[in-house]
Amino acid sequence: MYDYETANPNKYGLLKEFARKNRAGMTPCEKALWEKLRKLSCGIKFRRQHPIADYIADFICLERKLIIEVDGKYHESPEQKAHDEIRTHDLEAYGYTILRFTNEDVTYNLQTVINNIKDYVLYK
């Protein structure tokens, strides 16, 4: 499936460019998780910074309709929490499941994060 098949066609050009910039400027936590996700041995392919609807997912498995988000400190603000809830609701309406992990989860418990993702992918 191509990016343009999952993105809002009216915003595809903008989303594509923003996703490209996000891939080039991934956070250390996103880089660490990406290195693990791209090497998973369970036969599932993930993409990073993928346009979906009006948003860009940190990581997505299109086959399982799974989105993985790595949330930094700014996600703790009331405004960002409200935005994240709307975003989650919108993406769930497209049939996606969203797994959220904090930067701290990835930094201090990366293997647990990977195990949680693998459990979802293999058993859901």
> What integer pLDDT is reported at residue 43 of this predicted model?
82
Q: What kind of fold does domain 3-123 have according to CATH?
A: Endonuclease; Chain A (3.40.960)
Distances in Å between the Cα of 104 and the Cα atoms of 58, 65, 72, 82, 114 are 16, 25, 8, 21, 14
> What integer pLDDT is reported at residue 60 of this predicted model?
95
pLDDT tens across 61-114, in order? 999 999 999 988 766 777 878 888 999 999 999 999 999 999 999 999 999 999
| E-state strands within 18-90 | 47-52, 55-61, 66-71
pTM: 0.84
> What integer pLDDT is reported at residue 18 of this predicted model?
67
Mean pLDDT, all residues of the chain: 87
> What integer pLDDT is reported at residue 5 of this predicted model?
63
Rounded CA gap, 72 and 26, in Å? 12
pLDDT tens across 13-52, in order? 778 776 778 777 889 999 999 999 998 877 889 999 999 8
In the chain, what are the domain boundaries? Answer: 3-123
